[in-house]
Amino acid sequence: MSVLLGEREFFPGIGPIRYEGPETDNPLAFRYYDADRVVMGKTMREHFRFSMAYWHTMCGTGMDPFGAPTKALPWLSATDPLQQARDKMDAAFEFATKLGLPFFCFHDFDLVAEAHTLAESERRLLAIAEYAKAKIAASGVRVLWGTANLFSHPRYMNGAATNPDFAVVAHAAAQVKIALDLTIALGGQGYVFWGGREGYLSLLNTDMKREREHLARFLSAARDYARKQGFQGTLLVEPKPMEPSKHQYDFDAATTLNFLREFGLERDFKLNIEVNHATLALHTFAHELQVAADAGALGSIDANRGDYQNGWDTDQFPMHVPELTEAMLVLLEAGGLEGGGINFDAKTRRNSTDLADLFYAHIGGMDAFARALLAAAAVLEKTPYRKARCERYASFDSGDGQRFERGELGLEELYQIARQRGEPSLHSGRQELFENWVYRFC
């Protein structure tokens, strides 16, 4: 394999990661992720469409609010911004190629450092886009989705699309236009809006109604522009309840769907569901997937996991097979993602300072999803799980139950039926049996 195709090899000593099966002792091999293996009619590659998050994997230096960077990433050493961007991209494509990751996701200024003016930033982005196009063509690694970073720069401290100052809203819109152009130029399959600062720190100084209307206007304008440019891909909103804002308007899947419907955006936008955002909203990952799937809006997934003790957005790599199995059940029953993939929006810990740790993390995450897929498929194929769940609702399949579902019974008719039938008998929910069916394979 060529190292695609930079001048330097950034991960020397690490070759292509291959499937070696569950018995291997090789830490740089897959035990379960076998890209060509067919599970319920699709290969694992097609089920997952795994993606690398540029911001964590290429830009994450280990810096946190309490301390300096811990990770000396060799691709960040150049001082010239475009040279640094090219080195970073060489490292990104070498990494994705060695791991067999078919996609990557990026924010505009993950690719190249933001400049002091919008015009200079755009010039830099256009330059790196040309470089990226050649790398994409040479490697076959493609863009799952792009986005704009509308939360790091101080100008966004009061929000981007929901900023009380129109000048900031316009600047954010300009950034989205450029990021959409970039995503389209690189053949991106989707475009994500995550509103980290679209919310408030204090309701006392916030006109929430007006801010939400501005957000809807902003998304409409972005949608119109993207479609005018011929973008066929999926537009996605990524819900999160808080952090960095105290309260974010896209709190969770249900809130975001309500927002999209309120402003007539539901036909164009789907959801990008992130595990740790689900748990921050006090939901499970599976719950958020189910809410999105039931609305026909299950677009894409940001894969990671939180911490059960502290409740932060820790963005750890997903490793818990039972949790993922419940998620894969939802995904399989929903028929998969609508246009998206599984993006590892996850970071190695601050004290994981070896470059090999980036490989271990992604291998672990990909294997965990593969195990979960196999487990979920076994649940669906070998246990009465699905049938038993249907049977719980059998009383609505005929007779008065069916008439109720069809809207043919009013409250007076229901009153008469209840009087005739007397006290309902109890039917077990058999939760433990359902759990046994699922966890038997995890």
> Mapping DSSP to helix (H, G, I), strand (E, B) and coil, where does residue 375 land?
helix
Residue 22's identity, in one-letter code, is P
Which structure tokens are listed for 59? Answer: 């830009």
SS (H, E, C) 223-237: HHHHHHCCCCCEEEE
Residue 98 touches which of Co ion, ligand XUL, none (Cβ within 5-8 Å per kind): none
Tokens describing residue 372: 């979960």
Length of the chain: 442
Annotate 246-278 with b (16+ C-beta within 10 A) or e (fewer): eebbbbbbbbbbebbeebebbebbbbbbbbbbb
Beta strand 103-107 with 234-237 is unpaired
Q: Which does 259 bind (CB under 5 to 8 A by kind): Co ion, ligand XUL, none?
A: none
- Known catalytic residue at 107: yes
CB of 109 to ligand XUL, least distance (A): 11
Among 122, 181, 211, 302, binds Co ion (CB under 5 A): 302
Residue 86's binding partner out of ligand XUL, Co ion, none, with CB under 5 to 8 Å set by partner kind = none
Select 181 or 345, whichever has its Cβ closest to ligand XUL. 345
Q: Which residues are CB-neighbours of 111 under 8 A, at least 6 positions away? A: 54, 85, 88, 89, 125, 128, 132, 182
Cβ atoms 163, 172 nearer than 8 A = yes
Q: How far is the CB of 20 from Co ion (least distance, A)?
A: 31
390: Cβ contacts below 8 Å, ≥ 6 apart:
none
Cβ atoms 237, 191 nearer than 8 A:
no
Tell me which residues touch ligand XUL (CB under 6 A). Answer: 107, 147, 192, 194, 238, 240, 274, 302, 313, 345
In the list 87, 90, 252, 274, the residue contacting Co ion (rule: CB under 5 A) is 274
Radius of gyration of the chain (CA): 24
265: left (phi over 0), alpha (psi -120 to 50) or beta: alpha
**285 contacts which partner out of ligand XUL, Co ion, none, CB within 5 to 8 A by kind?**
none
* Residue 207 bears catalytic tag: no
How many CA atoms, within 13 angstroms, populate the side-chain half-sphere of residue 381? 11
Which of these is catalytic: 34, 87, 110, 250? 110
Kindly tell me which of 70 and 152 has the beta carbon lying closer to ligand XUL.
Answer: 152
Nearer Cβ to Co ion, position 38 or 282?
282
Provide the minimum distance between the beta carbon of 84 and ligand XUL in the complex, in angstroms, as a whole number.
21
End-to-end CA distance of the chain: 35
Considering only the stretches 113-121, 205-213, 341-349, 428-436, report the one whose residues sit in contact with Co ion under the rule CB under 5 A: 341-349
CB nearer to Co ion: pick between 145 and 359? 145
User: How far is 31 from 22, CA to CA, in rounded Å?
Assistant: 4
Q: How far is the CB of 101 from ligand XUL (least distance, A)?
A: 17
Residue 147's binding partner, choosing from Co ion, ligand XUL, none, with beta-carbon cut-off 5 to 8 A by kind?
ligand XUL
Catalytic residue among 56, 107, 214, 277: 107
As to burial, measured by CB atoms within 10 angstroms (0-12 exposed, 13-18 middle, 19+ buried), residue 1 is exposed
Q: How many residues bind Co ion (CB under 5 A)?
A: 3
Min separation Cβ 144 and Co ion, Å:
12
Nearest approach in angstroms of CB 256 to ligand XUL is 14
Nearest approach in angstroms of CB 378 to ligand XUL is: 31
- List of residues 6+ apart from 11 with CB closer than 8 A: 91, 94, 95, 98, 355, 356, 359
Q: Which is nearer to ligand XUL, 339 or 385 (CB)?
A: 339
Binder to Co ion among 345, 359, 367, 377 (CB under 5 A)?
Answer: 345
Strands 103-107 and 190-193: unpaired
Judged by beta carbon, residue 98 or residue 107, the one nearer ligand XUL is 107
CB of 240 to ligand XUL, least distance (A): 6
Cα–Cα distance, 227 to 231 (Å, whole number): 5
- The residue at minimum Cβ distance from ligand XUL is 194
* Contact set for Co ion, span 183-202 (CB under 5 A): none
The one of Co ion, ligand XUL, none whose footprint includes residue 110, by CB under 5 to 8 A per kind, is none
One-letter identity of residue 111? L
| Residue 313 interacting partner from ligand XUL, Co ion, none (CB closer than 5 to 8 Å by kind) | ligand XUL
Encoding tokens for residue 262?
Answer: 């309120």
Nearer to ligand XUL, 304 or 325 (CB): 304
Which of residues 233 and 340 has its CB atom nearest to Co ion in the complex? 340
By a kind-dependent CB cut-off of 5 to 8 A, residue 240 interacts, out of ligand XUL, Co ion, none, with: ligand XUL
Which residues are the active-site residues?
107, 110
Q: Give me the residues that bind Co ion (CB under 5 A), please.
A: 274, 302, 345
